[in-house]
Chains A and B, each alone.
Chain A
Amino acid sequence: MLPNGPEAFYAAAGKAAADKELNRKLDNASARHLEHLAAAKREFAAYESERDLARRIKEESIERLDRLLSELRQRLEARGVKVFFAADAAGARDYILKVAREGGVKRVVKGKSMTTEEIGLNPALEQAGIEAVETDLGEYIVQLRREPPSHIITPAIHLSSEDIGHLFAEKLGMDYSSDPPALTAVARARLRDKFLNAEMGITGVNFAVAETGTLVVVENEGNGRFCITAPDIHVAVMGIEKVIPKFEDLSHFLEILARTATGQRFTAYTSFLGAPRGANELDGPREMHLVILDNGRTRMLADPVMREALYCLRCGACLNVCPVYRHIGGHAYKSAYPGPIGSIVSPGLFGAAAAGHLPFASTLCGACREICPVKIDIPRILLHLRWKMTEGGEKVAWPQAAARVRTAARWFARAARYPGMVRAAGRLGAVLLKPFAHDGYLRRMPGPFGAWTRVRDFPAPPANGAGLADSDSGFVTVDRYETVMARIRRGLAPGAAQESANHVEPSPPPRTLDADELRAQFIAAAGAVGASVIEASTAAAAVEKIAAILSNAGADSAAIGAGITIDSAAVTARLSRGGCRITTVGGPGATQAALKESLASVDAGIVEADYGIASSGTLVMVADAARPRSLSLLPPINIVMLRAARILPDLAAVLRIVGPQAASAHPIVMITGPSRTADIEKRIVIGVHGPSQLHIVIVWQSGG
């Protein structure tokens, strides 16, 4: 969906503004979001200084964009990832279509990606006869309605659970229900099959780390993990601005993003990837592509005021606080990027004729800047764009009424240069209007002011001037690396390298906790996100606990990783005795087909985590041949062993340790709680595409 000028905006926004129901839904969702966010901020003492640090890193990344992108490209290409630079939307689309055609792709599963919305990928895929299935719950819902997402984080925010219930009843033939868990379960069941039978997965990218050549994908439902794990081909699409220098920089972004986007401490799943499937890995894509998109971003880069918009993390918080957005909803903007950030980005990406009116559709109230995690000065950029659209040679085709208002404003401003004259005119006006005033107000005004009195009364100017008297198929699939790089360098050249006013004092390191405290903190944090945590003093005790978990859950089949440090043979023997059918996956001679087969139907997956993060209750797993990624993804129950000594205090500590593994392209996943969504009315539902139960067994004793 592309913006197409002010007339269409006026029509859509006017209609939406009158829709009280829409406003009620958006207000409720926004209130819920703000509540979550306030709670998440309260318990994160370093939030403010982390915001400044995150902003600082974004500033520096953009100043070095050319170098970072070529570093990223070089690292990824060295590992066999195909990196493609697209100068515009068509270039990106054509490349993806070409890859799809060459790979014989019939079905694509898509993770949530606003960038693919921006380039209009779905219609292009459909036209090429390829089924494109949106798999994020919110995206799935709006796709069923054949409409675009109305929010960058919560695509179906404009719909109530009743709306969705009717939709599912009609399109999926289920019995009507407005219960979010029931609706979620239906989507899960419908999509499982699609995931396992798609040839290509397409996702966005939240961060791309130049130093290690790592793409980071953040999500809650597990659908993103499916898209990058199950199909044979993975295509990631990102704007040029997503690159950051160092792996450890992520520690300043991941928590902030989770908190502002959804009010969580940490998103359920953070995946790190940097290479196609390794020689003896059992899952993951055989072919991996990264499309890096310009499409107007270098224009924004070249404008020193607009450049700031490239720091955006797409957290969506500014939409939720925007009173205009909450009254007109996302669709009225007719852009993949609605709301405050959209009103700056859309003219940048789609040009003045299409979207130049959007910067004017704001009261400049500043709520967006206040909440923005990277403090983008949105009102200032809106003002800058208004100037460009007025005196900068870019023109907006204003409808007549708005044009008249503008003309009147211009004449007023010109007249105001002569205070004596305007005062006299004002007095004259006041005298003339006096007979029409009731109780100090006018019910109708002439000319451009008619728009005012259509909806409210106008204060009658006091006639006596009181008190002042004294004073492809033509596919163009040429890599545009050089073109984009040249544009970036040109954009950076006048460098106007805005001196960062942002000198950040890092917050003092928190007191170091001992092992017991770390464990206690981990248990509390994991419990808070809905994981169950059990402690076991020895490996043997852990096996007993796992047996108990399985029997409590009524699970009669489980799969276990071959490579776990706790003797898997012993686990298998004990569990089999308990009547559970146990499959070991990832052993010598294992195949992908066998893996899929065994995971498709088992109740539980048993794995071991490499690390735990105490502050957020997060599990960190580095996948390898013996520990396939699907093991912690497909089975509805996930049981994870974690050795107590492997619990580290925070994300930064873990990133320091796993950095080298990311650099050597081991796929890493961070798991925080069971899979979840808040896509229906911002209500949290546990268990979407990933496991609905997460049991963590902490083993005190190290070794076997």
Chain B
Amino acid sequence: MNEVTLFATCLGEEFFPGAIAAARAVLSRLGLEVIVRREAFCCGQAAFNEGMRREACELATRFLAAHKAGTPLVVPSGSCASMIKVFYPDLLAGEPTLLEAARALIPWVHEFSEFLVDVLGVADVGASFPHAVTYHPSCHLLRELQVVDAPRKLLQNVRGLRLCELPRSTECCGFGGLFSVKFPDISAAMLADKCRCIEQSGAEFVVANDGGCLMQMGGGLHRAGSRVRARHLAEILARR
């Protein structure tokens, strides 16, 4: 059985369809049958993080109806993957049937880079990208899922790619979901730090595995007139 499900995520569908297509391409090239389920659109993270658990629960219900244990579920976003793996049990604590479905599904859920490196055992996907790239470890990927090395390993094996060190890399970019629009001043101050560090890294591209961070860093760099672009890891790995 070499079937995997790819969860496109709401930000992915709306803003980064290129990244989703790239993730899909990378997985297909490794010989996997990639399925995208159209019945679910959002894991419910934004609502959950805002305390709107009723709404989040509805979305989780739909998500769990669409995605079943038995097929690996690849999530190209650290925070959506944490939502399912770490926070669904909290969200669904009062819903025994859903909780059970979530518990069954969780071992099948993998963040994209972790899936490639730790599950498939692939560090070199045969990509080539002759550019200077730096990597921003998204907070949820790093601290909820403890995925630390996989993205770097993948990038190191991309032909021609020069991996630049990002100063203060583990510091949050300031996105934080609705935080970015509810507390724009604080978010902007954090973003300014991040953009400065990205510029210092000397990279042409900053890579992250999370749509939220990409919107934040990409938007910040663009507003500042920077030439550095924000890209999803999959977009780099899909280049040949």
Binding site for B on A (CB under 8 A): 10, 13-14, 17-18, 23, 323-324, 327-328, 360-367, 369-370, 380, 383-391, 401-402, 405-406, 409-410, 412-414, 416-417, 419-420, 422-423, 426, 430, 439-441, 443, 448-449, 451-452, 454-459, 461-462, 464-468, 471
Contacts and interface: CB of A to CB of B under 8 A. Distances in A.
Interface in B175-219: 175-191, 193, 214-216, 218-219
Q: Which are the 6 A-B pairs with shortest beta-carbon distances?
A: A467-B21, A363-B176, A390-B51, A386-B51, A366-B143, A471-B36
B20 A468 contact: yes
Q: Which among A386, A406, A417 has the highest number of chain B CB atoms within 10 Å?
A: A417
Contacts of B87: 383
Contacts of B181: 405, 448-449, 451-452
A440 B214 CA distance: 13
B52 A409 contact: yes
B50 interface: yes
Contact of A409 (B38, B62, B140, B178): B178
B56 interface: yes
Interface stretch (B9-17, B105-113, B122-130, B158-166): B9-17
B13 A423 contact: yes
Interface of B: 8, 10, 13-18, 20-21, 24, 35-36, 38-42, 44, 46-56, 58-59, 62, 87, 90, 139-140, 142-144, 170-172, 174-191, 193, 214-216, 218-220, 222-223
Contacts of B184: 451-452, 454-455
Contacts of A413: 42, 44, 46-47, 52, 55-56, 58-59
Contact of A419 (B40, B174, B175): B40
Nearest to A466: B17
Contacts of B17: 462, 464-468
B49 A452 contact: no
Nearest to A31: B168
A14 B184 CA distance: 9
Contacts of A426: 13-14
Nearest to B212: A363
Interface centre among B16, B24, B51, B219 (most CB of A within 10 A): B51
Contact of B38 (A451, A455, A462, A471): A471
Nearest to A440: B222
Q: Which of B53, B186, B193: most chain A CB closer than 10 A?
A: B186
Contact of A365 (B20, B139, B223): B139
A401 B175 CA distance: 17
Contacts of B54: 391
Nearest to A462: B17
Given A360-B182, A457-B222, A389 B20 contact: no
A459 B144 contact: no
Nearest to B35: A471
A542 to B, nearest CB: 51
Given A402-B182, A409-B52, A416 B42 contact: yes
A371 to B, nearest CB: 11
B186 A17 contact: yes
Contact of A323 (B14, B182, B190, B216): B190
A338 to B, nearest CB: 13
A364 B176 contact: yes
B189 A23 contact: yes
Contacts of A451: 180-182, 184
B65 to A, nearest CB: 11
| Chain A contact surface mostly | helix
12 contacts: A13-B183, A17-B189, A327-B186, A360-B183, A363-B179, A366-B144, A390-B50, A422-B41, A451-B184, A457-B220, A457-B223, A458-B215
Contacts of B13: 423, 426, 465, 468
Given A409-B52, A458-B215, A364 B139 contact: yes
A365 B186 contact: no
A405 B182 CA distance: 7
Contact of A386 (B49, B58, B143): B49
Given A323-B190, A367-B170, A471-B38, 11 more contacts: A13-B185, A324-B186, A362-B176, A384-B90, A390-B52, A419-B40, A441-B222, A451-B184, A452-B219, A456-B220, A468-B17
Contacts of A412: 46
A440 to B, nearest CB: 8
Q: Which of A13, A390, A409, A412 has the most CB of B within 10 A?
A: A409
Nearest to A321: B171
Nearest to A448: B181
A14 B185 contact: yes
A364 B187 CA distance: 12
Contact of A367 (B44, B58, B172, B215): B172
Contact of A383 (B38, B59, B90, B191): B90
Given A458-B215, A459-B219, A18 B51 contact: no
Contacts of B21: 466-468
Given A328-B186, A367-B143, A456-B220, A391 B49 contact: no
Contacts of A364: 49, 139-140, 176-177
Contacts of A406: 50, 178, 182
A440 B221 CA distance: 13
Contacts of A471: 8, 35-36, 38
Given A367-B170, A413-B46, A413-B56, A461 B180 contact: no
Given A455-B191, A456-B216, A466-B17, A416 B186 contact: no
A458 B181 CA distance: 12
Between B44, B90, B174, B189, the greatest number of chain A beta carbons within 10 A of the residue's beta carbon is seen for: B189
A449 B14 CA distance: 15
A291 B189 CA distance: 41
B190 A391 contact: no
Contact of B139 (A13, A327, A366, A385): A366
A327 B189 contact: yes
A476 B217 CA distance: 55
Contacts of B178: 405-406, 409
A143 B156 CA distance: 53
A456 B219 contact: yes
A448 B46 CA distance: 15
A467 B24 contact: yes
Contacts of A384: 90
Contacts of B179: 360-363
A64 to B, nearest CB: 26
A455 B187 contact: yes
B40 A383 contact: no
Contact of A410 (B44, B47, B182): B47
A441 B182 CA distance: 21
B59 A417 contact: yes
Nearest to A426: B14
Nearest to A442: B219
Contacts of A448: 181
Contacts of A18: 185, 189
A457 B62 CA distance: 32
B49 A457 contact: no
Question: Which of A328, A365, A443 has the largest number of chain B CB atoms within 10 A?
Answer: A365
Contacts of A362: 176, 179
A55 to B, nearest CB: 18
Contacts of A323: 171-172, 174, 190, 193
